[in-house]
Amino acid sequence: MTNKFAMTAEMVERFRSGFDRAEEAGVPEPTAMTLATVDEACRPSARTVLLKDMDEEGFVFYTNFDSRKGRQLAAHADVSLVFWWRETAEQVLVEGRVEAVTPAEADAYFASRPRGSQIGAWASKQSSTLSSRQELQERVEYYEKHYAGQDVPRPPHWSGMRVSPRRVEFWYGRESRLHERVCFELVEGTWRDFLLYP
């Protein structure tokens, strides 16, 4: 069934074109995006995560659900993302809600990760207090032995989140700070586009 709130073809093309320009310009990590969340008391926090998939349904990243951001996402599904591609003077700002990807999607992505990253997903109690790096190394060694000679399954606490946008702004740097801002906003089930003053 088609998602009536899916992004328009123009929005998807604008993002992909900007991403391609960033790659061509040598942006070190064009998939890097700032993810802003709030906790149960509505206090904000932000960190950088990596985009792993993008289509008309939204923007996908992966995380440990037991982590600080995982707990915040469970408490409040409203989030924002910021892509900043300095070399091309472009930003993409996204506001929306997160929902978990399907288990099949998560399994397929997890299977594509390097084995060391798969082991790390089991070994890391993400965001929990760590007494020493040695403790972490011991956990890595434990899971390396535990899964020796077999495929590493996806941990039940590790999966993907898809940000389904309700507002997306494409920001293009221009001379004299007269930047170009093209905004798309979902209003009563329909995407509307407009320009903003810089």
Q: According to the model, what pLDDT value does residue 5 have? A: 81
pLDDT of 4 higher than 70: no
Among 45, 51, 41, smallest CA distance to 16 is for 51
Q: What percent of the chain has pLDDT over 70?
A: 98
Instruction: Please report which confidence band the pLDDT of residue 1 belongs to, taking 50, 70 and 90 as the band edges.
Output: very low
Question: What 8-state DSSP symbol labels residue 67?
Answer: S
Choice between 192 and 2, residue whose per-residue pLDDT is larger:
192
Q: Could you tell me which residues are beta bridge partners of residue 61? A: 161
pTM of the model: 0.92
- Of 97, 166, 177, 181, the active-site residue reads 177
Give the residue-averaged pLDDT of 69-94: 97
d(CA 123, CA 139): 5
Question: Domain spanning 9-113+156-196 has what CATH number?
Answer: 2.30.110.10
Give the domain ranges of the chain: 9-113+156-196
Q: Coil, strand, or helix at residue 10? A: helix
d(CA 35, CA 73): 11
Between the CA of residue 182 and those of 14, 25, 26, 167, what are the distances in Å? 10, 22, 24, 11
Instruction: Give 40-54 pLDDT, tens digit per residue.
Output: 899 999 999 999 999
Give the residue-averaged pLDDT of 114-127: 95
Note if 177 is an active site residue: yes
d(CA 145, CA 192): 54
Instruction: Give 152-173 pLDDT, tens digit per residue.
Output: 999 999 999 999 999 999 999 9
The average confidence (pLDDT) of the chain is: 96
d(CA 193, CA 6): 14
Q: According to the model, what pLDDT value does residue 198 have? A: 97
Range list of β-strands (E), 6-120: 32-38, 44-50, 53-55, 58-64, 78-85, 90-100
pLDDT of 19 higher than 70: yes
Work out the angle at residue 7's Cα, subtended by the Cα atoms of residues 171 and 92, and round it to the nearest 5 degrees.
Answer: 20
Question: What 8-state DSSP symbol labels residue 140?
Answer: H
pLDDT of 96 higher than 60: yes
Residue 160: exposure state from Cβ atoms within 10 A (0-12, 13-18, ≥19): buried
